Amino acid sequence: MSRSRISRVVVTPVAFGDPPLLNVVGVHQPYALRAIVEVHTDSGLLGLGETYADEAHLGRLDAVAAALPGHDPYDLNGLRRLVTEVLGRETGGASASFGGMLDVSSAVDTVHSPFEVACLDLQGREAGVPVSDLLGGAVRERVPFSGYLFYKWAGHPGHADDAWGEALTPDQVVDQARRMVDGWGFGSLKLKGGVLPPDEECAAIEALRDAFPDLPLRLDPNGAWTVDTSVKVADRLAGVVEYLEDPTPGIEGMAAVSARTDVPLATNMCVIAMEHLPPAIAQGAVQVVLSDHHLWGGLRKSALLGGITEVWGMGLSMHSNSHLGVSLAAMVHLAAATPNLTYACDTHYPWKTEDVIAPDVLSFESGSVAVPTASGLGVELDRDALGALHEQYLGCGVRRREDTAYMRSIRPDFSPHTSRW
Ligand SMILES: O=C([O-])C(=O)C[C@H](O)[C@@H](O)C(=O)[O-]
Ligand SMILES: [Mg+2]
């Protein structure tokens, strides 16, 4: 039997409504962008992937998409070589940056990821097995997620208030959490910090502790605090949070905090590629790494990360950015096949009201999603929804994630800087 070959690749940028969620670098714009990647084969198979859709990233995706016809969808090492060659030609190997928050040292990892996911999806469809099987087999039937809480305005300026309302006080954060827990059943909660002075964010965590005595809690200020402030917060929240995520920037800074507290430190900022692991481990900088297949080079490399953290006795959680259902499916398969997943994964999923996949396949019950057992990722594109969200992309004017620029258009004196407190 002759092997199928990639015959056509389609990259579709889409925009979906996003509430004004606050963070250390600013505020989410009214629309979040994603790119949906379709990899078709000459045997009629289709595999799906999802990734960021910032302009520069789209240019790189298009360049790889144009080079893929004729490639064997089972040759994932060859896919990575091809991405490396194409990007070397296109960008001279320049790095990629997303939203002013994450500097990704390797554009190759980020561009490779959605094509790798799509190839695994179509391999699973051809073999009649779920992607989790291709990653070694599911070790859990359901994947737990944490409810992701944000400080937020009631609505985008100039628009009607959204359904969530304002969250700027501890009571409002508790109300938001109650809605997350009632609606999705989350069994743990993460608060995105770095927005208000640390005392106010500690008070919100303490209010959450009072309201939800049994739920593990996390606070993530994205490096907004100095080392001394981080230690003070750790002292105050010891026994209250299961971990502090990126309290201060950089491996050295995290190591300095870690030396002065027993509260576990987690990161998706100072360890975001394989080459960051040796110095972080040598300095004892972090106890928990947040994987993210979009940034770490796909599902197989993220599974490798899971193995490395296991070897070194580190915890593993999963990072999220605003995303749609194709990404959620990939996250669920990866988490299902990762034995060392020691914490519930992050997801922005409850914040969106639109999607590109047919509904009801990935539903939250008790804060977890059942691992799809259908072939591949187990999700199908809703072509009408994809078309509508692409039209929305064309019309909305947003072309890259710009939390800081958008915040400055509302508050001109806003200045984003880490270690600000
Ligand atoms: O854990 C994190 O650092 C994130 O989830 C990063 C995101 O960009 C988050 O801060 C957001 O959506 O504003
Ligand atoms: Mg984080």
Helix axes 55-67, 107-127, angle to 10 degrees: 50
Q: Which residues contact 301 (CB under 8 A, 6 or more apart)?
A: 109, 274, 293
Helix ranges (H only) for 185-226 are 198-211
CATH classification (class only), 136-370: alpha beta
Establish whether residue 268 lines the binding site of ligand 1, counting it when its CB lies within 6 angstroms of any ligand atom: yes
Q: Where do we find the tokens 């928050």?
A: 101
Specify the pairing of strand 217-220 against strand 189-192.
parallel
Going by pLDDT thresholds of 50, 70 and 90, the confidence category of residue 95 is: low
| Domain edges within the chain | 6-132+382-395, 136-370
When pLDDT is averaged across residues 241-262 and rounded to a whole number, the result is: 98
Topology at the third CATH level for domain 6-132+382-395: Enolase-like; domain 1 (3.30.390)
Whether residue 186 has pLDDT greater than 60? yes
Whether residue 346 has pLDDT greater than 80? yes
Going by pLDDT thresholds of 50, 70 and 90, the confidence category of residue 105 is: very low
Q: Which residues contact 316 (CB under 8 A, 6 or more apart)?
A: 288, 289, 290, 291, 305, 306, 309, 310, 338, 340, 341, 342, 343
Going by pLDDT thresholds of 50, 70 and 90, the confidence category of residue 366 is: very high
Closest CA to 390 of 357, 356, 421, 360: 356
CA 28 to ligand 1: nearest atom:
13
When pLDDT is averaged across residues 165-192 and rounded to a whole number, the result is: 98
Convert 206-239 to b/e letters by CB count within 10 Å (16 or more is b).
ebbbebbeebbbbbbbbbbbbbebbbbbbebbee
Candidates 151, 219, 222: which one to mutate for ligand 1, based on the most atoms within 8 Å of Cβ? 222
Whether residue 110 has pLDDT greater than 90? yes
Going by pLDDT thresholds of 50, 70 and 90, the confidence category of residue 326 is: very high
Distance CA 164, CA 20 (A): 10
Closest CA to 33 of 60, 13, 10: 13
User: Could you count the other beta carbons within 10 Å of the beta carbon of residue 404?
Assistant: 19
Q: What is the mean pLDDT of the chain?
A: 95
- Two tokens, residue 260: 């002065």
3-state secondary structure of 152: strand
Q: How far is the CA of 366 from the centre of ligand 2 (A)?
A: 23
Q: Where do we find the tokens 């799809």?
A: 372
Distance CA 85, CA 81 (A): 6
Beta strands in 113-247 (DSSP E): 142-144, 147-150, 189-192, 217-220, 243-245
- Known catalytic residues? 192, 319
Going by pLDDT thresholds of 50, 70 and 90, the confidence category of residue 103 is: very low
Beta strands in 65-150 (DSSP E): 96-98, 102-104, 142-144, 147-150
3-state secondary structure of 135: coil
Whether residue 98 has pLDDT greater than 70? no
pLDDT in tens, 292-307: 999 999 999 999 999 9
Going by pLDDT thresholds of 50, 70 and 90, the confidence category of residue 91 is: low
The fraction of the chain above a pLDDT of 90, given in percent, is 92
Whether residue 278 has pLDDT greater than 80? yes
| Residues, Cβ < 5 Å to ion ligand 2 | 220, 245, 268
Cβ atoms of 345 and 318 within 8 Å: the answer is: yes
Whether residue 104 has pLDDT greater than 50? no
Candidates 21, 25, 33, 220: which one to mutate for ligand 1, based on the most atoms within 8 Å of Cβ? 220
Q: Would you give the DSSP letter of residue 218?
A: E
Predicted model pTM: 0.96
Whether residue 129 has pLDDT greater than 50? yes
Establish whether residue 21 lines the binding site of ligand 1, counting it when its CB lies within 6 angstroms of any ligand atom: yes
When pLDDT is averaged across residues 190-217 and rounded to a whole number, the result is: 98
Distance CA 421, CA 416 (A): 12
Establish whether residue 23 lines the binding site of ligand 1, counting it when its CB lies within 6 angstroms of any ligand atom: yes
Going by pLDDT thresholds of 50, 70 and 90, the confidence category of residue 344 is: very high
Q: How far is the CA of 268 from the centre of ligand 1 (A)?
A: 9
Whether residue 379 has pLDDT greater than 60? yes
pLDDT score for 2: 78
Establish whether residue 294 lines the binding site of ligand 1, counting it when its CB lies within 6 angstroms of any ligand atom: no
Complex ipTM over 0.95: yes
Closest residue CA from atom 10 of ligand 1: 23
Going by pLDDT thresholds of 50, 70 and 90, the confidence category of residue 338 is: very high
